Amino acid sequence: MLSSPRTHARVCRILREDPELGARVAPGERERAIAECVAASITIPRGKWRVGQMLLMSDGIGLLALSGLLTRRVGLDGRFGAELLGAGDLLRPWQGEDVESTLPHTTGWRVIEPVRVAVLDLAATERLAHYPALIGAITGRALNRSRCLGLMMAIVHHPGTDVRLHMLMWHLADRWGRVRPDGVHLPLRLSHSLLADLVAAQRPSVTMSLKRLRERGLLEAVDTGWLLHGDPPGELLELQHVAVSDARVAPRP
């Protein structure tokens, strides 16, 4: 079980709160699976997430994000990179944090919007295991996270900050965006500092790039996040095509 003085555990029905996961169960078994697949859930408040202050599980799958938004930030020699995570992502924030590395680095977690997670400890994992398709789907979530990181690495290697930011926004829109008559709405409040970490740039450079993208009519800041105009950048479409091709030809385990 996972606990903290700043969190309170409740019980949740995993497949009801994550319908995409529930859809992996055969229709004839779905209601029974919804009733049986329960787990403790906790809400992590906004701000720095001090994982070391929590009593962590020793067995089980990990934490399944049900809602909210958070970042994992890694720093090396004064330079930082970040990963943006939300509902559907599988987390194991304690894994590897205490392992010594040849390259000294820092790692930190920050909750942007309160995050609610299902605690998939050993007991919850055993309940899920009665429906093998769920284990495969959850494993797929972890693989998708690694593929997303690979795509982010390709984005940050582009030499132009403007293009990197433009690609990042559309990449995030693939997951969180909603099409509207006036463009694609990305309902994420992302600070310039966070965007700088996501595209491996300095904050002043990001501020100037955002200004140029707005002047070109490609991006608009709105109260609820961002509004994207026009079409996704060709550079991102090319990266996505390569990623899909690689996934298709990859040997099956």
* β-sheet bridge partners, residue 43: 116
The vertex-146 CA angle with 145 and 152, nearest 5°, equals 90
- For residues 237 and 21, give the distance between their C-alpha atoms in angstroms, rounded to a whole number: 27
Q: Identity (one letter) of the amino acid at 103?
A: L
CA nearest neighbour of 86 among 67, 102, 72: 67
The vertex-76 CA angle with 240 and 140, nearest 5°, equals 35
CA nearest neighbour of 163 among 222, 219, 225: 219
CA nearest neighbour of 118 among 100, 138, 103, 102: 138
CATH (residue range 157-249): 1.10.10.10
Query: Which part of the chain is CATH 1.10.10.10?
Result: 157-249
- For residues 183 and 13, give the distance between their C-alpha atoms in angstroms, rounded to a whole number: 35
Taken as a whole, the chain contains a residue count of 253
The CATH number of domain 10-142, selected from 1.10.510, 3.40.390, 2.60.120, 2.30.29: 2.60.120
- For residues 243 and 84, give the distance between their C-alpha atoms in angstroms, rounded to a whole number: 19
Give 238's contacts (C-beta < 8 A, 6+ positions apart).
none
pLDDT-flagged residues of the chain (< 70): 1-8, 52-58, 77-78, 96-106, 237, 239-253
pLDDT score, position 79: 73
Could you tell me where the DSSP H helices lie in the chain? Answer: 14-17, 19-22, 27-36, 122-128, 132-156, 161-176, 192-198, 203-215, 234-249
Query: Which part of the chain is CATH 2.60.120?
Result: 10-142
Residue located via tokens 């942007």: 112
The CB density around residue 68, as the number of other CB atoms within 10 Å, is 19
For residue 189, give both structure tokens.
């409040």
The DSSP secondary structure of 202-229, one letter per residue, reads: -HHHHHHHHHHHHHTTSEEEETTEEEE-
Q: How many helices (H) and strands (E) does the chain have?
A: 9, 11
